[in-house]
């Protein structure tokens, strides 16, 4: 299944608008580019669709497709250190293939829920 097929094949467990930037790709540092991003957790996949204003639904619509997907299996999450970002409430997500993302929300309850959901997903799918 490609990313867009996957979105329609399985219900999402969690979705929302978060600030997201990649910081490392395949082990190489990349320039930060924070963007408000529709983020969807589905099974062990985390999907991102950029450029969606908050409140805009893209489910069922075909005006935008997920742009990026990471496999959470074998990954890790932790709260980012001050060196990684000056922002508050930043999650650092590392994937098995060496992609690192920072995920942030100004709303602490929102980011705490995501931290829990991502941790649980990683633990649940650890041995697949
Ligand atoms: O880790 P850095 O390089 O201090 O990250 C900041 C920069 O990416 C900056 O962009 P430019 O260097 O292109 O101007 C961003 O605007 C900042 O948001 C980044 O830092 P934070 O601490 O917000 O993650």
pLDDT, tens only, 37-78:
999 999 999 999 875 444 444 444 444 566 889 999 999 999
DSSP string for residues in 50-98? ETPPTT---SS--S----EEEE-TT-EEEEPPTTT-SSSSEEEEE-TTS
- The strand pair at 28-29 and 14-25 is best described as antiparallel
Complex ipTM value: 0.88
| Residue 55: predicted pLDDT | 46
Query: Distance, CA 87 to ligand 1 centroid (Å)?
Result: 10
Query: Distance, CA 101 to ligand 1 centroid (Å)?
Result: 14
In whole angstroms, what is the distance from residue 94 CA to residue 124 CA? 16
Ligand 1: which residues within 6 Å by Cβ? 32, 34, 85-87
The pTM assigned to this predicted structure is: 0.83
pLDDT over threshold 90, residue 80: yes
Nearest CA to ligand 1 atom 7: 32
Query: Distance, CA 83 to ligand 1 centroid (Å)?
Result: 11
Mean pLDDT of 4-31: 82
């Amino acid at each position: 299944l490609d990313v867009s097929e996957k979105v329609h094949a399985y219900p999402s467990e969690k979705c929302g608008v978060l600030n997201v930037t990649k910081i490392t790709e395949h082990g190489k540092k990349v320039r930060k580019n924070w963007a408000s991003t529709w983020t969807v957790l589905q099974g062990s996949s985390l999907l991102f669709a950029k450029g969606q204003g908050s409140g805009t639904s893209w489910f069922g619509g075909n005006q935008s497709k997920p742009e990026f997907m990471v496999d959470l299996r074998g990954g890790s999450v932790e709260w980012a250190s001050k060196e990684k970002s000056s922002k508050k409430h930043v999650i650092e997500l590392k994937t098995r293939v060496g992609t690192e993302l920072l995920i942030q929300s100004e709303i602490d309850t929102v980011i705490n829920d995501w931290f829990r959901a991502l941790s649980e997903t990683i633990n649940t799918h650890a041995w697949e």
